Structure 1
């Protein structure tokens, strides 16, 4: 990990198109500005972790939801999606 010291108004350039600028330093917090191409995703680590966790949980089947789906299928089974036979001549 590269560790740098920067003051308000100073920047760090990453690669060909990302500029990180120190906007303000207050107590134990630092405000930064990030200028990056639209193709580069920029996320706060804690938000990205929360989204990834929520997405992983969304892929786990919910037992109550599955029971509801099974009950609905029992009432009305899925339609037969096979192609109808051609009429005989």
Structure 2
């Protein structure tokens, strides 16, 4: 993990096309601004993990449905 210190108004650049700027610091909370191309998805980590879990559960259900179809329509 790379650890950087930045002050309010300072930025870092990721991959040449993503800019992360410290907007403000209030107690334990840091406000960040992110400029990224539209095709780059940006999520809070807890939301990203929730989406991944939902997708994994959905894919398991699709596999179960396909297995049931195979059993029902087996000739």
User: For this structure pair, what is the TM-score category when the shorter chain's length is used for normalisation?
Assistant: 0.7 to 0.9
The two structures have a TM-score, normalised by structure 2, of 0.73
Deviates most, 3-12 or 36-45 = 36-45
Matched, 1:38 2:38: yes
Give 1:8-87 correspondences, 5 Å limit: 8-61=8-61
Which runs of no fewer than 5 residues in structure 2 stay unpaired?
A: 66-71
Relative contact order, higher structure (CA 8 A, sep 6+): 2
Pair 1:56–1:3, CA change in 2 (3 A): same
Residues paired across the two proteins, number: 66
Q: CA deviation at 1:51?
A: 0.8
Which runs of no fewer than 5 residues in structure 1 stay unpaired?
A: 67-72, 74-89
Corresponding residue of 1:69: none
- Structure 1 runs, 4 residues or longer, greater than 4 Å off: none
Corresponding residue of 1:7: 7
Q: Which has the higher helix share?
A: 2
CA-atom RMSD, angstroms? 2.3
